[in-house]
Amino acid sequence: MAGKLSRGFGYARTTALLSSFLREHEVDIVHTNDGQMHATWGLAARLSGARLLWHHRGDPGAFGVNVMAPLLANHIVTVSRYVQPTRPILPVSHKLSVLHSPFDHPTILPDRDDCRREFVRELELPEETRFVGYVGGLIDRKRPVRFVEVIHAFLQRFPDFPLVGLVFGIPSPDLPNPEPEMRARALELGVERRIKTMGFRAPVAPCMSALDALLVPAINEPFGRTLIEAMLLATPVIATRHGGNIEAIVDGVTGFLVEPEKPEAFVDPLARLLMNAGEHRRISSAARENALTKYGTEAHVKGISLLYERIVGREYRSFGVRRTAP
C-alpha cells in the first residue's frame, strides 16, 4: 500500500511539473505515440490547456486507447482501421482518424539475382535455390512456427522444388523465445535443412530483395512495416487475411491474402509466384507502385499537419484553461 501511495504522489508531482512546463512555454499541442508517453504527458497536456493528439499503433483492446484516450485526447489517430479502439468508454468517432505510418522510399533497387546469389554462397546451397522469407521479431503473434509449416506444406505439394525459407529476426527479451519450438517443428516435419535462421540483418533491403516472396503468417498485426518495406522493394507478399494486413494488400492485385492459421493456404499463391515469372512481375510492380503512392513521408507529414490545424484552428477550452489559437 505504501508503495502504491508513493507512486501515486510521484505521478501527481510529475504531472504538475509537466503541466507547468507546458503552460510556461505556451505549448499548443502534445503529440504522444506510445504507452509511456501517453501516461506521462496525457493528463499534463490537458491540465495545461494544450491539445492532446493520441497516436495509437498497437492493441485495439488496450486500456489506454479505450479508457484514457476517450477521456483525455482531443483527437485520436491510429495507424490502421484495425487498431481503432474496440470498446471506448465514450464515443470517439467524431475525433478519430486513420493515418498510415510513413516509409522511406528506396531510390535504387538492389539487383535481385545478386542478392539471391550472395545468400546461396553464404549458406553453401545449390545455385538454383529459391528463397522465401520471414522478416520480423520472433514472437508468437507473428507466428514463426507457422512459417516453418508453410515451407513443409509447399514441399509436400512440390517435393523437388529447390525452396529454402530464410528467417530474419531475433526473439524479444520480454517474451517467450519461439526458436526451440521452430527447430523442433522443422525436425518433426523433416524440413530442418530447408529452414535457415539468419538472425538480425541490416540493412534489410538486400535480404528482402533476395526473396521471391515475403510470407506474413502473423495475426493481430496492427500494420506491419516489413510488409510495406517488401512492397517498396518489389518483393511480393503473401499475408494472412487478418489485422492491418487487409488494409495494406489488395488480394490478387498488390499481393495475396490467405486464411490465418492455415499453412496450406499459402501454397497456391506461392506456387504462382515461384513458377510464373509474369505473375511475379505483375504482382511486384503493382505492389511497388501502390506503396510508393500511399506510404510516403510527404503524405504522412501532410496528414499530421492537417490534424494539427484541425485541433488548434479555433478557440477552445480545456479543463478550465482558455486559449485562442493564433
- The residues near 232 (Cβ < 8 Å, ≥ 6 apart) are 103, 105, 106, 288, 291, 292, 295
- Mean pLDDT lowest among 4-13, 15-24, 231-240, 308-317: 308-317
Beta bridge partners of 78: 56, 98
30-55: average pLDDT: 95
Q: What is the pLDDT of residues 85-138, one digit of tens each?
A: 999 999 999 999 999 888 888 888 999 999 999 999 999 999 999 999 999 999
Place of cell 467524431: 94
| Lowest-pLDDT choice from 8-17, 65-74, 273-282 | 8-17
Domains and CATH numbers, the chain: 8-100+297-323 (3.40.50.2000), 112-294 (3.40.50.2000)
Give which of 122, 58, 120 is closest to 85, Cα–Cα: 58
What sign has the CA pseudo-torsion 82, 85, 86, 92? negative
Would you state the pLDDT for residue 4?
A: 64
pLDDT-above-70 percentage for the chain: 94
DSSP result, 119-135: HHHHHT--TT-EEEEEE
Computed over its alpha carbons, how large is the radius of gyration of the chain?
Answer: 23
Under 8 Å between Cβ of 219 and 241: no
pLDDT of residue 299: 82
- C-alpha span between 250 and 161 (Å, rounded): 28
Task: Output b/e per residue, 287-297; b: 16+ Cβ within 10 A.
Answer: bbebbeeebbe
pTM greater than 0.95 (yes/no): no
User: For the segment 180-219, what is each residue's pLDDT rounded down to a tens digit?
Assistant: 999 999 999 999 999 999 999 999 999 999 999 999 999 9
Quick one: average pLDDT of 254-265? 97
- Is the pLDDT at 68 greater than 80, yes or no? yes
- Percent of the chain residues topping a pLDDT of 90: 79
Please give the single-letter amino acid code of residue 237. Answer: V
Calpha distance 136→108 (Å, rounded): 23
Per-residue pLDDT band for 320 (boundaries 50, 70, 90) equals: very low
Whose CA is closest to 195, among 222, 218, 168? Answer: 168
User: 97: which DSSP letter?
Assistant: E
Tell me if residue 88 falls in helix, strand or coil: coil
